[in-house]
Amino acid sequence: MRRKKLIVANWKMHPGSMAEARSLFGKTKRAGSRLEKVETVICPPFAYLGAFAHGGTSRVFLGAQDVFYSNSGRATGEVSPEMLRDLGVTHVIVGHSERRALGETNELVARKAVAVLAEGMQAIVCIGEKERDEGGAFYETLKVQLKESLQGIARRFFIDLIIAYEPLWAIGKSAKEASTPKDVQEMSIFIRKVLTDLYGKEAAQQPSVLYGGAVEEENAGAILSSGGVQGLLVGHKSLDAEAFARILKSANAV
């Protein structure tokens, strides 16, 4: 497992202009570059990725929000793993719930993750339940998501595999409505247990686990220090350079 905290900025479909993207990238890169104990990953929309090609440092990395599952074939509108790697992209989010909502299946997510890892990049595979039922059926949902979304990934790639747990009910909300550090800890233990059942104890220790969903300055430090996760996936607060810099700082202090 990684020693440094991994903090991923998922800009989603923002900001609306290249000028704003440049400004946000510059500020975030400066903030992340100062921190010894944090790896910052910035995931801009595809339209801006080229402008930041090879723009990372030893502490700040370029990520993508999605990818196609192959380097070849007729695939209008898609972007291949090889193209991303060529731009200096090192991390790729796959299976974000907002992509799953558009029809992406576990099977497709698994194919994308396999393709990303084969290209030598790190795959951030997202899972998360829509809602929590009292009977605990969401545990089974998560188990199936994990099993099927990791299908075909060889254990030797696990070191580059990152599981992001993002409960849908928390995404886009405020810190008050996020998972509590205690809940996050319970889910990180659950994820490790499912991985252990599927792949054995040794392999199951390798992937990093991140939490995402309403991460703000108020809860970032507590989730990192007592949630049992190795990092965070941050949405709306990654668009506020000052707030995101404070999240990075609190991660560095854990």
Closest distance to ligand 13P from the beta carbon of 181 (Å): 16
Residues that bind ligand 13P (CB under 6 A): 10, 96, 166, 171-172, 212-215, 233-237
Shortest CB 135 distance to ligand 13P, Å? 26
Q: How far is the CB of 19 from ligand 13P (least distance, A)?
A: 23
Of 22 and 99, which has the nearer Cβ to ligand 13P?
99
Query: HSE on the CB side for 144, CA within 13 Å?
Result: 8
Give the residue nearest to ligand 13P (CB): 235
Instruction: Give catalytic residue positions.
Output: 96, 166
Radius of gyration of the chain (CA): 17
Whose Cβ is closer to ligand 13P: residue 45's or residue 82's? 45
CB 238, CB 9: distance < 8 Å: yes
Encode 138-169: b = buried (16+ Cβ within 10 Å), e = exposed: beeebbebbeebbeebeeebbebbbbbbbbeb
Q: Is the peptide bond before 167 cis (omega within 30 degrees of 0)?
A: no
Toward ligand 13P, which CB reaches closer, 100 or 111?
Answer: 100
The backbone region for 150, taken as left when phi is positive above 0, alpha when psi lies in -120 to 50, beta otherwise, is alpha
Q: Which is nearer to ligand 13P, 86 or 177 (CB)?
A: 177
Minimum distance of ligand 13P from residue 107's CB (angstroms)? 21
